[in-house]
Amino acid sequence: MTAAGSVAYGYAGVQNQAMGLTAEQRAYVAGQRVARLATAGADGWPHAVPICFVLDGDCLYTPVDEKPKRVQGRSLRRVRNIEENAKAAVVVDSYGEDWPLLRWVMLRGAAAVVEGGEEHARAVALLREKYAQYRAMALEERPVLRVTIERVTEWRGDGRGG
């Protein structure tokens, strides 16, 4: 176990940080276009979905957008899970056939549903800046999910821990 803010190395290439992203990790994560959000409801069953996202400080935001879904808004499993259990994880990764270039960063923290207000408006603006598709969607009418980053874990195929 490590003290808050300290770094511990486990198996080859893994780095665990109690708080915050390094500048290099932040650049890597921010530069990716898709991630996977994992949540679990009160029943404990995991649920993982691909997401579009932005970073803003120590928070990651992902919208409940207008892409076709079986259910909408607060009825989505990820939203219900966050309302039942705020613990969430987001994995951002790179895959290719050249395995020394493989990499993933997992961000864990408390998730919340954000609707309306300045925080919501800022998240929507950042999402529209990163993803042109969101400029045509009515995101201001839909919830945004926030994950406040509390713990960072990274693995790299080249054995470097970040």
> Is there a contact between 92 and 28 (Cβ–Cβ < 8 Å)?
yes
Q: Name the band, by pLDDT with cuts 50, 70 and 90, for residue 76.
A: confident
Q: Pick the residue with more confidence: 17 or 61? A: 61
Which pLDDT value is given to residue 51?
Answer: 96
- The CA distances from residue 144 to 22, 60, 108, 111, 140, in Å, are 25, 10, 17, 10, 9
Q: What is the DSSP-derived secondary structure letter of residue 10? A: -
User: Does the pLDDT of residue 97 top 50, yes or no?
Assistant: yes
Instruction: Tell me the average pLDDT across 111-115.
Output: 96
> Is there a contact between 51 and 34 (Cβ–Cβ < 8 Å)?
yes
As a whole number, the mean pLDDT across the chain is 86
Q: Is the dihedral of CA 137, 140, 144, 149 positive or negative?
A: positive
Strands (E), the chain: 7-9, 14-17, 35-40, 46-51, 54-56, 59-63, 87-94, 103-114, 144-156
Name the helix (H) or strand (E) containing 99. none
Q: Name the band, by pLDDT with cuts 50, 70 and 90, for residue 17.
A: low
Q: Which domains does the chain have, with CATH numbers?
A: 13-156 (2.30.110.10)
Instruction: Tell me the average pLDDT across 123-135.
Output: 97
